[in-house]
Amino acid sequence: MARWMTSSWKGRIKYKGQALLLQLFLMISLASWNIRGLNRPLKQQEVRQIVKENKLSFCAILESHVNVDNLNKVCSLVFRRWEWTTNGNSCDKGTRIIVGWDPGIFDVVLLSQSSQVMHFQLVFKQDKKVFFCSVVYAANYYITRRELWYHLSKHKVLVGNKPWVILGDFNSALNLDDKSMGASNISIGMRDFQDCISDLEVFDINSSGLHYTWNQKPKNGAGLLKKIDRVMGNIPFVDMFPNSVAFFHPYRISDHCPCLLKIPMPDKNKHRPFKFANFLVYKPGFIEAVKKVWDTNIDGVQQLRVVKKLRLLKKPLRALLFQQGNLHKNVEELRSKLDAVQRDIDSNPLNVVLREQEIKISADFQEACLDEERFLKQKSKVDWLRAGDANTAFFHASLKCRNHTTRIDVITNTEGILFEGENVSKAIVAHYEKFLGSEDDIAIRP
CATH number of the domain that 234 lies in? 3.60.10.10
Confidence of residue 237 (pLDDT cuts 50, 70, 90): very high
User: Does residue 85 have a pLDDT over 90?
Assistant: yes
Residues 193 and 63 in one domain: yes
Residues 114 and 31 in one domain: yes
- What is the mean predicted confidence (pLDDT) over 301-313? 88
User: Does residue 348 have a pLDDT over 60?
Assistant: yes
Residue 13 placed within a domain: no
* Top-confidence residue, 120 or 273: 120
Residue positions counted in the chain: 446
Min mean pLDDT across 21-30, 153-162, 302-311, 417-426 is at 21-30
Write a three-state SS string for the chain: CHHHHHHHHHHHHHHHHHHHHHHHHHEEEEEEEECCCCCCHHHHHHHHHHHHHHCCCEEEEECCCCCHHHHHHHHHHHHCCCEEEECHHHCCCCCCEEEEECCCCEEEEEEEECCCEEEEEEEECCCCCEEEEEEEECCCCHHHHHHHHHHHHHHHHHHCCCCEEEEEECCCCCCHHHECCCCCCCCHHHHHHHHHHHHHCEEECCEEECCCCEECCCCCCCCCEECCEEEEEEHHHHHHCCCCEEEECCCCCCCECCEEEEEECCCCCCCCCCCCCHHHHHCCCHHHHHHHHHCCCCCCCHHHHHHHHHHHHHHHHHHHHHHCCCHHHHHHHHHHHHHHHHHHHHHCCCCHHHHHHHHHHHHHHHHHHHHHHHHHHHHHCCCCCCCCCCCHHHHHHHHHHHHHHCCCCEEECCCCCEEECCHHHHHHHHHHHHHHCCCCCCCCCC
Residue 95 placed within a domain: yes
Overall pTM > 0.85: no
Residue 40 placed within a domain: yes
* 185-199, 252-266, 277-291, range with greatest mean pLDDT: 185-199
Residues 169 and 293 in one domain: no
Min mean pLDDT across 37-51, 264-278, 386-400 is at 386-400
Which tens digit of pLDDT belongs to each residue from 371-413? 988 888 887 664 544 444 555 666 666 666 766 666 677 777 7
CA-nearest of 228, 223, 203 to 213 is 228
Residue 299 placed within a domain: yes
Residues 102 and 184 in one domain: yes
Residues 101 and 210 in one domain: yes
The domain tally of the chain equals 2
User: Does residue 322 have a pLDDT over 70?
Assistant: yes
Residue 269 placed within a domain: no
* Top-confidence residue, 21 or 258: 258
Q: Which domain holds residue 327?
A: 278-388
User: Does residue 10 have a pLDDT over 60?
Assistant: no
Mean pLDDT, the chain, integer:
84
Min mean pLDDT across 63-77, 94-108, 196-210, 253-267 is at 253-267
Residue 395 placed within a domain: no
pLDDT (0 to 100) of residue 79: 94
Residues 117 and 218 in one domain: yes
User: Does residue 255 have a pLDDT over 50?
Assistant: yes
pLDDT (0 to 100) of residue 446: 54
Residues 242 and 326 in one domain: no
- What is the mean predicted confidence (pLDDT) over 29-49? 93
* Top-confidence residue, 427 or 128: 128
Residues 161 and 68 in one domain: yes
- What is the mean predicted confidence (pLDDT) over 250-254? 89
Which tens digit of pLDDT belongs to each residue from 15-29? 444 444 444 457 899
- Is there a contact between 215 and 232 (Cβ–Cβ < 8 Å)? no
Residues 341 and 206 in one domain: no
Residues 64 and 197 in one domain: yes
Share of the chain above pLDDT 70, in %: 83
Residues 298 and 188 in one domain: no
Residues 376 and 227 in one domain: no
